[in-house]
Amino acid sequence: MLDIKFLRENPEVVKQNIRNKFQDNKLPLVDEVIALDIRNREIKQEVEALRADKNKISKMIGACMAQGKKEEAEEYKKQVAANAGRTEELSKEEKEVEEKIKTIMMTIPNIIDPSVPIGKDDSENVELQKFGEPVVPEYEIPYHTEIMEKFNGIDLEAAGKVAGNGFYYLMGDIARLHSAVISYARDFMIDKGFTYCIPPYMIRSNVVTGVMSFAEMENMMYKIEGEDLYLIGTSEHSMIGKFIDTMLDEEKLPQTLTSYSPCFRKEKGAHGIEERGVYRIHQFEKQEMIVVCKPEDSMDWYEKMWKYTVDLFRSLDIPVRQLECCSGDLADLKVKSCDVEAWSPRQKKYFEVGSCSNLGDAQARRLGIRVKGANGKYFAHTLNNTVVAPPRMLIAFLENNLQADGSIRIPEALRPYMGGKEVIK
């Protein structure tokens, strides 16, 4: 959410940012919120004047009563009553105006970083770097669920009967591989200096609206019927929510946390064959990282964070690339974002396995995350990044470590988490 003062002083900057994100339907909101802001300040000034007038008249009433001028005092009392009625009327309007301002401000997108490429959608995202040599073996790489089925490692049919489409049972060595990846990712981030955390898997609506846009909320979140609770779509939601309405000491920044959680997503819409199996599902597990830091440090952390994901995937012999998200592909709260994509030797292309985002102070403004520093108080910056989400990671892992004889090679870094196994047969 933008600072209303910034919008008031830079309306054309805000409008150009909206155009850069190809959301021209939101352009009228800038003028609307400016008009509401003017009215809000007018109301406050009138209320302040009425309160000052009330104090002045109260003294006059006291003087009249002391002098025995009761009729004159009664006239003053009528004026006080009229002023009180007007004040109440204005206070009601003030509340309505401020609610409208808040609603609109939460809809206007955050100002993107100047380095973000301008583009309409994800088809115009920009490849920046590749890490590792993508290989297409001479032998056939089956679809990921076929690989899992050969190891009796997945049961989609039973899951469909129990929970419907978008769910799965992982079994045996494939299930163990899933857990091994999560455990390895946890220790990987702890070794980077992050504090390990297991957060709540449900959050209240004020946290939901604090960490994400309304459009994301509608498309992603599952609501718990009859309660003010939502299932998290990623642990970032509850991890950033941990700092709601807090005043952090500048000396204690940055706050660096890595978290494990199950995640739940609606995943609305039709999806192609490549997004079936365990690629796009309603329930999965994930290792996440978040950082709460000083504004001047957030871009440095952004660069560190996405590289951590690259390092993890490369330690498991999976080629990856960094893809910068263009303006039209950025969610409204994001300042800058990139995806880490893993190589699929079966598809002969890369696919998304993680996303790193710098949200500036947008989440901090919504949630009230402030910092007390030597030069005063200010809003923190927040960032998040996927360490690993095993369902998609499993696809990349199985395809890149499948051997000609149908066995799965276990990279050295993962062997301690697989009981020392070097291969799954």
The 3-state DSSP class for residue 222 equals strand
110 occurs within a structural domain: no
- Please indicate, yes or no, whether residues 127 and 88 belong to a single structural domain of this protein: no
Tell me which of 51, 71, 105 is where a domain ends: 105
**Is position 113 within any domain?**
no
Q: For residue 361, what pLDDT is reported? A: 96
- Domain shared by 297 and 387, yes or no: yes
Query: According to the model, what pLDDT value does residue 274 have?
Result: 55
Q: Is residue 258 part of a domain?
A: yes
Mean pLDDT of the chain: 92
Query: Is the pLDDT reported for residue 315 higher than 60?
Result: yes
Specify whether 179 is located in the same domain as 247. Answer: yes
Do the domain assignments include residue 293?
yes
Nearest-10 crossing angle of helices 172-191, 390-401: 110
Are residues 183 and 61 both part of a single domain?
Answer: no
Task: Using alpha carbons, select from 127, 65, 153, 109 the residue that is nearest to residue 424.
Answer: 153
The string over 90-105, giving b where at least 16 C-beta atoms fall within 10 Å of a residue's C-beta and e elsewhere, is beeebeebeeebeebb
* pLDDT value of residue 83: 80
Q: How confident is the model at residue 281 (pLDDT cuts 50, 70, 90)?
A: confident
Which one of 105, 135, 156 terminates a domain? 105
Encoded tokens for 226: 């009859």
Q: Do residue 97 and residue 48 come from a single domain?
A: yes
Alpha-carbon span 54 to 291, nearest angstrom = 50
Asked which of 206-215, 225-234, 291-300, 378-387 is least confident by mean pLDDT, the reply is: 206-215
Least confident stretch, 63-77, 85-99, 160-174, 216-230: 63-77
Instruction: Check which CATH number belongs to the domain holding 66 and give it.
Output: 1.10.287.40
Residues 20 and 136 in one domain: no
213, pLDDT greater than 90: no
Examine residue 200 and state whether it is found in any structural domain, yes or no: yes
More confident residue, 68 or 378: 378
397 pLDDT above the threshold of 90: yes
* Residues above pLDDT 90, as percent of the chain: 80
78 and 195 both lie in a single domain: no
Q: Lowest-pLDDT range, 54-63, 272-281, 318-327, 342-351?
A: 272-281
Distance from C-alpha of 81 to C-alpha of 75, rounded to nearest angstrom: 10
pLDDT of residue 270: 47
Peptide bond into 254 cis (omega under 30): yes
92-109 pLDDT tens trace? 999 999 999 999 999 999
Residue partners of 419: CB distance under 8 A and separation at least 6: none
User: Does 117 fall in a domain?
Assistant: no
Same domain? For 89 and 144 the reply is no
Q: Which of 54, 77, 105 is the last residue of a domain?
A: 105
d(CA 197, CA 241): 13
In a domain, 115, yes or no: no
**Residue 229 pLDDT exceeds 90:** yes
Q: What does the pLDDT average to over 317-338?
A: 97
Residue 145, pLDDT above cutoff 70: yes
Quick one: 154 exposed, middle or buried, by C-beta within 10 A (0-12, 13-18, 19+)? buried
**Claim to verify: residue 80 and residue 141 sit in the same structural domain:** no
pLDDT of residue 308: 98
Judge whether 177 lies within some domain.
Answer: yes
User: Same structural domain for residues 180 and 270?
Assistant: yes
- Range with the largest mean pLDDT of 38-47, 64-73, 240-249: 240-249
**Per-residue pLDDT at 273 exceeds 60:** no
CA distances (Å), 295 to each of 239, 277, 333, in order?
Answer: 19, 41, 15
Residues 180-188 have a mean pLDDT of 97
| Contact call for residues 37 and 105 (beta carbons, < 8 A) | no
- What are phi and psi for residue 152, nearest 5 degrees? 50, 40
- The mean pLDDT value for 43-69 works out to 82
Q: Pick the residue with more confidence: 277 or 209?
A: 209
Q: Which among 121, 53, 59, 129 is positioned nearest to 86, based on CA atoms?
A: 53
pTM (global) more than 0.85: yes
Let me know whether 93 and 128 are in one domain.
no
- Where residue 189 sits, what CATH number does that domain have? 3.30.930.10
**Which residue from 358, 361, 355 is spatially nearest to 335, judged by alpha carbons?**
358
The domain tally of the chain equals: 2
Range of the domain at 399: 122-424
Asked whether residue 163 falls in the same domain as residue 309, the answer is yes
